[in-house]
Structure 1
Amino acid sequence: MKRFFIGSLAVVGGISLLFVAAIVGLAYLAASHRPGVPDSVVLELDISEPLREHVPEASLTSAFGEHAPTVRDVVDALERAGEDGRVKGLLVRLEGPAGSTAVVQELRDAVKAFRSRGKKAWAYADTFGEGTSATGTYYLASAFDAVYVQPSGDVSVTGVGQETPFARDALVKLGVKPQMGKRHEYKAAVNTFTEQTYTEPHREESTRYLTSIFEQMLRGVSEARGLTPEQVRAALDEAPLTGARALELKLVDGLLYRDEVLAKVKDTAGEGVKRLYLEKYLERAGRPHTKGPVVALVYGAGTISRGRSESNPMSGEDTLGGETVAAALRKAVEDERVRAILFRVDSPGGSYVASDTVRREVQRAREKGKPVIVSMGTYAASGGYFIAMDADRIVAQPGTLTGSIGVYGGKMVTAELWAKLGVSWEPLGVGKNATMYSSSLEFTPEQHAKNEASLDRVYEDFTAKAAAGRKLPVEKLREVARGRVWSGEDAREKGLVDELGGFPVALRLAKEAAKLEGEVRVELFPKEKGTAEVLADLLGERRGDNSDDVEAGGSVAAPLRPVLARTQALYRLAVRLGLVEERQHVLAAPVPDTTW
């Protein structure tokens, strides 16, 4: 009987081994028959909406199906394609804005590097703006070898501007009283609620920021199109332009429909050339930087809050959880393979405490011999700058909105609004300041003084730590602080940024800091999750009790976005009016609604 039992186990074990071998064999066979990259190919990319900086791994979107390419996806794909002899060119259809100034500049750099390898790049749009400005879209297109627009299309390069809402009088009518403090005069985030027009400092910083962006765009277009800055400025002042007039002014190379553009691309690239979407190419060819010593890539994207990173389906915004990002930095430090950390920051700020939690981990990484290089995206302002300022080196695009070293805080008193609606909130508390943060009561003079003292403390701490991190005298640092935002170009002049550029520049600096030569492997921290882990996170399950294992939280699935879109704007307004409670964000910069 015993022999029979042992024999049965042996048979079962053998069958199991054969089953596993069969599965492995089938997987290998499937992989070997996956479509590859054609021998002669032109990559295609359609841009219809702004590219995202980062898609959290723990999301329905990442678990099921494909997501639109991120900024890094495009940059990596073009870097890989530049070295790939099979790739003959790149065709990008621009249906909408690619993103902020910094994102456009990151893509322009990638396109120029791709072209420097002898590859061709074509940009096509049915129209650059239709009743709206498309200056940013055209700014991206100008980096290509050739720019085409449909004969019926326009080239609406009208310049760079912004609109800021001021709701002081409306709040008075509604019965909402802002009790907000700020440090200092340039900290304009609260002006929407406390002013009815621009203050002089607000106007000054906004005008300078827009001027810096305009000058960068002017230089970029003139260099790319072989025109003088005066010619480009004159064209912008004349815009919106018809396609025919843009052709006369040498802003475009032809008035062609899509089929005609494709025919021209085929003629240039050669007979037998295939077309392949850029995201498919990246999937098949793989990313660059996959061999050698490890450089950890950690993302700090979104509004900063305490706790875990997550996506709010009501506001439609991602949050940078201090706990999540700090854990990712610790993991990178603990991994013996990691020689340096590339910290990609894309945040307008948020919680002071959470920002300091992340900053401390950057500091600890350096103390343990792991250099940290920050690469700034669209913005790294206020709390976003706070988490970056202790890095070994800081890299920003010329158009990155950065700085805003300042603080604001307080509350919205909504008692009168509720009274108009027939609702009476009656706070009760035990303790002198138990109801200090109630939106039904105004601050007492003593409570107001406490709020002001708190702002002073945070500002003093922020500027002192920024001065230490940037190795600047505190007095000099405070001259460029005061809550003021700067373009990345201006921030470099002020000593807040070390170099201008994007991912490639930051990676070069990371290699230099770690004394690495040759190839390196860029590895994302935290590591990607499988579908089962993603679903477990989304369902609220937590695996393990080690806080160092905290990773990014969930994101709303793409099919739900249309349903939520109309409620998100109302929700954000309610938050700003104090009708919905949310974590207090005191290190936050105004994010201008820039049109270009």
Structure 2
Amino acid sequence: MAESRSNPLWNFLVGVWRFIRFTNHLVFFIGLLFVLVFFFLALTLGVSASNGVKGAGSLQEKTALVLDLKGNLVEQYTSAPIQRAFAQATGNTDREFQLRDLLSAIAAAKKDPKIDRIVLLTDGFNVAGFAALHELGAALRDFRAGGKQIVAYGAGMEQKQYYLAAQANEVYLDPDGAVLLEGLGRYRLYYREALQDKLGVDVHLFRVGEYKSAAEPYILDAASPASREADLFWMNDLWNRYLGDIASARKLKVEDLTALVMAMPTRVEAVQGDLAKLALDAKLVDALKTPHEVETMLAERGAYDDESDSFRQIGLDAYLAQQLTASSLFSGKAQVAVVVAEGEITDGKQSPGTVGGDSTSELIREAREDDNVKALVLRVNSPGGSVFPSEQIRREIALTKEAGKPVVVSMGNVAASGGYWISMNADRIYADPSTITGSIGIFGLWMSAPRALEKIGVHSDGIGTTPLAGAFDVTRPLDPAAGGLIQSVIDHGYQQFIGKVAQARGSVPEKIDTIARGRVWSGAQAKERGLVDEFGGVREAQLAAAKLAKLAPDSYEVHYVEPQVSAIDQIFLDMSRNARYAGLLRTFGPVPALLGRETTERVQSELSWLDRKGGSPIRAVAHCFCSL
């Protein structure tokens, strides 16, 4: 019997769905057309850019640079330009700040006679690590050293937010706010019982190094003693350094801060749960003030702006736009190129926020082949990943050095495992004392599920022409010979890793093995062991690269080598920096969703990286799950 196609209800629902789709597309295109026409019309009429500042076409005297840090501090944007434009315009917490932009703005403000202070708003600030936090803190201290004031304010400060606030001359907290210092912790889920006992999945781990603990959660129910020992060693170093920096900034004693954290429940109970009062009593903050009280105070100290009914101020985006307009673009000067390697290292071409073996290599090659580029800085903020793309990038670094262009690595929050692999061949390696690095080791993980299939009455059987045929079929138990093959590959990869480190660092494999074996180190601990050359951030690395290239000060430009932003994306970014257009973008907030490029959470399971490479079932991984 033929299927009936005349169901009136079905036809009605299909018609409604098609109408909704047509309406969505129509609304989007009309909205987009309106935005673009408005933008270009405004440009034609010469509407000046502003950020809520009266007469923002030219910066006025006694202006405060307001750094509202709600968002994530990154080395390189991970979101698309249109997403960033709407996040900036709407104040979305998904907003991203590039460390380089903040450092540039603070350095420019220090020398700018029209900027009299920085107002630091810490609510919503987040950063995945401590090295970038220290670089930003150092920039703020340098600003203060120039004789200008920093005022910090927050409604609630966790310890990374408070670290920045503590660098200010004055720290103010909302009367109903809190400063929460709790120490460093790193806890993971362990799946052995669920996978092996409950589901019947057999997990086989192949590794070299008792400290290479990245895949332990799939074979254990709790951290191994070696993992606990190594993690506590570097985490204590970071925590003690954190307390020392806070104590120095606030003129406190480290012992008092330690006592405060250790006795936090008792101290909170003593002030009847008033966390703001506790912060004030402990001298973590200078006073408790509401936002209105802080705003009034700043208006009295600086200059009152009639148009905004507040103190005279300019935001980060508007200030950066003015600095870009005021500065000369590249004028044939020599360049120190910077290539950012941020995120997991994987194969092929990847978008910013992930290190692609092909895409990152292409950027390094572009810098090497540019006659204006005299030196290269590789900024690494990566926990590692696959071995092959790591080796691809390392080779490009070696070729750049062979071409006569010095290479300096600047390590960010983490440059471990594969992140160290791509770093080791540089002429000089710079790291922050709180950088997480090392983890020189390799592992492989194989899962098979014959017991899981047996639970539902399914069995695997067949025949092959050789003993190896079908050995990597997940429905079959792993043959011991195949397991030995995988371990041999992992052993070879480890020997290759420590051999290359030894060659790059002027050592021998046996000595490198004693500080490798998958063990993680802080930047300070790594320097003591010869894995890092100098302490410093990306600015220090740039200066070192210029010096190695024998470039005189002020004779070169710093140029970030990155994929080009399209014209349409640039239009949206420019609009997001303009207060007049920002309101318009807020009106059209749903547009990105209609466009299909909505902001998505980059939430991944701890095993997602295993699915990123097809082909050979045998894959060596140089990865460190060691971020904070």
CA distance in 1 between counterparts of 2:114 and 2:84 reads 29
Identify if the C-alpha distance between structure 1 residues 487 and 304 changes in structure 2 by more than 3 Å, giving closer, same or farther: same
Query: 2:149 pairs with 90, 98, 120, which one?
Result: 120
- The answer for unaligned runs of 5 or more in structure 1 is 1-23, 129-133, 312-317, 536-556
CA distance in 1 between counterparts of 2:404 and 2:47 reads 40
Query: 2:199 pairs with 174, 191, 209, which one?
Result: 174
Give 1:402 deviation, angstroms: 0.5
- Provide the TM-score with structure 1 as the length reference: 0.82
Identify if the C-alpha distance between structure 1 residues 419 and 258 changes in structure 2 by more than 3 Å, giving closer, same or farther: farther
Equivalent position of 2:64 in the other structure = 42
Equivalent position of 1:108 in the other structure = 137
Secondary structure in 2 matching 1:310: coil
- The answer for unaligned runs of 5 or more in structure 2 is 1-39, 51-55, 89-94, 269-274, 306-310, 572-591
Query: 1:139 pairs with 163, 168, 189, which one?
Result: 163
Instruction: Give yes or no for the alignment of 1:69 onto 2:58.
Output: no
Instruction: Give yes or no for the alignment of 1:470 onto 2:486.
Output: no
Identify if the C-alpha distance between structure 1 residues 107 and 364 changes in structure 2 by more than 3 Å, giving closer, same or farther: same
Give 1:341 deviation, angstroms: 0.7
Amino acid at match of 1:36: G
Bigger mean CA offset, 368-377 vs 41-50? 41-50
RMSD across aligned C-alpha pairs, in angstroms? 3.0
Instruction: Give yes or no for the alignment of 1:320 onto 2:349.
Output: no
Contact 1:58-1:534 within 8 A present in 2 as well: no
Identify if the C-alpha distance between structure 1 residues 415 and 109 changes in structure 2 by more than 3 Å, giving closer, same or farther: farther
Equivalent position of 1:307 in the other structure = 348
Equivalent position of 2:382 in the other structure = 347
Give 1:333 deviation, angstroms: 0.8
Contact 2:432-2:524 within 8 A present in 1 as well: yes
Amino acid at match of 1:110: A
Instruction: Give yes or no for the alignment of 1:209 onto 2:234.
Output: yes
CA distance in 1 between counterparts of 2:41 and 2:354 reads 42
Give 1:276 deviation, angstroms: 1.4
Query: 1:530 pairs with 566, 579, 588, which one?
Result: 566
Contact 2:442-2:620 within 8 A present in 1 as well: no
Instruction: Give yes or no for the alignment of 1:224 onto 2:272.
Output: no
CA distance in 2 between counterparts of 1:144 and 1:426 reads 69
Query: 1:246 pairs with 279, 286, 310, which one?
Result: 279
Instruction: Give yes or no for the alignment of 1:92 onto 2:120.
Output: yes
Secondary structure in 2 matching 1:204: helix
Instruction: Give yes or no for the alignment of 1:481 onto 2:516.
Output: yes
CA distance in 2 between counterparts of 1:558 and 1:485 reads 41
Instruction: Give yes or no for the alignment of 1:255 onto 2:288.
Output: yes
CA distance in 1 between counterparts of 2:185 and 2:328 reads 38
Contact 2:71-2:97 within 8 A present in 1 as well: no
Give 1:481 deviation, angstroms: 0.6
Contact 2:234-2:521 within 8 A present in 1 as well: yes
CA distance in 2 between counterparts of 1:110 and 1:405 reads 31
CA distance in 2 between counterparts of 1:498 and 1:51 reads 26
Give 1:30 deviation, angstroms: 3.5
Instruction: Give yes or no for the alignment of 1:448 onto 2:483.
Output: yes
Equivalent position of 2:260 in the other structure = 235
Identify if the C-alpha distance between structure 1 residues 178 and 63 changes in structure 2 by more than 3 Å, giving closer, same or farther: same
CA distance in 2 between counterparts of 1:136 and 1:26 reads 41
Deviations 1:408-434 (A, max 9, x none): 003111333355467767787665434
Deviations 1:516-542 (A, max 9, x none): 12223111213523236999xxxxxxx
CA distance in 1 between counterparts of 2:187 and 2:401 reads 41
Secondary structure in 1 matching 2:354: strand
Identify if the C-alpha distance between structure 1 residues 87 and 59 changes in structure 2 by more than 3 Å, giving closer, same or farther: closer
Equivalent position of 2:320 in the other structure = 282
Instruction: Give yes or no for the alignment of 1:294 onto 2:332.
Output: no
Identify if the C-alpha distance between structure 1 residues 587 and 333 changes in structure 2 by more than 3 Å, giving closer, same or farther: same
Amino acid at match of 2:114: R
Equivalent position of 2:579 in the other structure = none
Deviations 1:173-226 (A, max 9, x none): 122221111110000101111112221210111101210111110110111011
CA distance in 1 between counterparts of 2:559 and 2:448 reads 47
Contact 1:359-1:387 within 8 A present in 2 as well: yes
Secondary structure in 2 matching 1:160: coil
Contact 1:103-1:378 within 8 A present in 2 as well: yes
- Provide the TM-score with structure 2 as the length reference: 0.78
Bigger mean CA offset, 383-392 vs 165-174? 165-174
Secondary structure in 1 matching 2:186: strand
Contact 1:166-1:196 within 8 A present in 2 as well: yes
Equivalent position of 2:424 in the other structure = 389
Equivalent position of 1:163 in the other structure = 187
Identity of aligned residues (%): 31
Deviations 1:142-162 (A, max 9, x none): 111111111111221122222
Query: 1:51 pairs with 63, 73, 77, which one?
Result: 73
Identify if the C-alpha distance between structure 1 residues 456 and 258 changes in structure 2 by more than 3 Å, giving closer, same or farther: same
Contact 2:493-2:620 within 8 A present in 1 as well: no
